[in-house]
Chain A
Amino acid sequence: MVDKVKTLEDLRKLREDALEKRRVKSASGQIQIVVGMGTVGIAAGARETLKAILDYIEQESLSDVIVRQTGNIGLDSWEPIVQVTVGENPKVTYGKVSPDVARRIMKDHIVGGQVVKEFAIEA
């Protein structure tokens, strides 16, 4: 049995550190990433796509990025699908997002501010 009290104590410490860091950084607007997690998306690899996004956030210490999942988006042949909204900019929908493509989106779009046109689906 894992000692939950101790690990929650660790989490409390992490929270203080994280809030301290957040105060230093100036937010360039909230970033929201949504991954389609319906049956087709999961079968096409959406869990690995989401994992690649989370790993990137953890490794590069990106703050102010919210990651959510949603059910079937209705574009089956494009799964896995990832939707990105940066601040007030319009939502960009990406299709056939493998973990490699996800890492490119994180690097170019989330960090660099450039839409990865090659994988963007026209609205």
Chain B
Amino acid sequence: MRELALHLLDITENSVSAKADTIRILVEEDHAADRLKICVEDNGSGMSAEMVARVTDPFVTSRTTRKVGLGIPLLKAAAEACNGSLTIQSTLGKGTWVTVEFQQSHIDRMPLGNLASTILTLVIGSPEIHWIFNYTVDHQTYEFDNEPVKEVLGDLALTDPTVLGYLRESLETGIASLNGTA
């Protein structure tokens, strides 16, 4: 994958599969500290300590359709190649917290990519989940929360063309307004 936003989409799919009903995504760029941090926090089914310890091994997955899961190991390798790290904290029945960090200026750090498209995919694709997206660039923050949007819409679908336009524009302009690297 060529974008961190695609990796973010990929690891967040784990939270969706873990039947989370609230998923919080934090993306933080701090130029002074030269760090780029991405966190995905869910209240899904969680993992045992043993599973967490083994999850970064490419030959471990909870999926049954195919035996090899590569999402987390690929992202971990990418972070470690950029003076960064990937950590997972998880409690069975409570949820999982994945944090990945990079040296912002590292030559090998892949671009953040299209964050708006990733968030739109999640919000549209799994509308029953409460999504909280928080993007911070040097202490300026943009937040998107789909709960107030759903309250306004009532039974009108998120894929109604006018609603789609509203969501796409809100995310694109909100993210672009921070002048980050996305």
Query: What residues make up the interface of A, taking CB atoms closer than 8 Å to B?
Result: 1-2, 4, 7-8, 10-12, 14-15, 17-19, 22, 35, 37-39, 42-43, 47-48, 50-51, 54, 57-58, 60-63, 65-69, 71-74, 76
Which residues of chain A come closer than 8 Å to B161, judged between CB atoms?
18, 57-58, 60-63
Q: Are A66 and B157 in contact (CB under 8 A)?
A: yes
What are 24 residue pairs bridging A and B, where the CB atoms are less than 8 Å apart in the complex?
A: A1-B141, A11-B149, A11-B166, A15-B156, A18-B160, A38-B13, A39-B10, A42-B6, A42-B13, A47-B6, A48-B117, A50-B121, A51-B117, A51-B121, A54-B120, A57-B159, A58-B164, A61-B162, A63-B160, A69-B125, A69-B126, A71-B17, A73-B65, A74-B66
Nearest A residue to B74 via CB reads A39
- In chain B, positions 47-81 with a C-beta closer than 8 Å to chain A are 63, 65-66, 69-71
Please count the residue pairs between chain A and chain B whose beta carbons lie under 8 angstroms apart in the complex.
Answer: 111
B139 CB to nearest A CB, Å:
12
- Chain A CB within 10 A, most for which of B153, B157, B161, B170: B161
